[in-house]
């Protein structure tokens, strides 16, 4: 297998058993599920960057914020009732 690495992972018996069951339900293998998970970790940085950019866009849209603009406890409860 060119471009592939074998790894050894130790897990408790019950975890391995459940992983085999889940893999069978998906028509897959434990190895394929682990590989899919590891791929998702490597792409996690892109998702973080996307969410961070979204946060900055939203923060730029907030023109004015004052602590005095907050609702008091009674107003919050009144809104919840409506």
**Cα Rg of the chain (Å, integer):** 24
pLDDT at 25: 93
User: What are the residue boundaries of the structural domains of the chain, listed by start?
Assistant: 1-63
The CA distances from residue 50 to 15, 39, 46, 61, in Å, are 33, 18, 6, 17
- How do residues 16-67 score in pLDDT, each as one tens digit? 999 999 999 999 999 999 988 887 777 767 777 888 899 999 888 887 777 7
Distance CA 66, CA 25 (A): 53
Looking at residues 9-19, what average pLDDT do you find?
A: 94
Instruction: Note whether 19 and 30 are within 8 A (CB).
Output: yes
Residues 6+ apart with CB under 8 A from 20: 30
């Amino acid at each position: 297998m060119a471009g592939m690495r074998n790894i050894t992972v130790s897990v408790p018996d019950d975890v391995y058993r459940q992983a085999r069951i889940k893999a069978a339900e998906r028509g897959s293998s434990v190895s394929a599920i682990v590989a899919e998970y590891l791929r998702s970790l490597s792409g996690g940085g892109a998702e973080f960057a996307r969410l961070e950019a979204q946060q900055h866009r939203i923060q730029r849209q907030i023109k004015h914020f004052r602590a005095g603009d907050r609702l008091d406890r009674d107003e919050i409860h009144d809104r919840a009732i409506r």
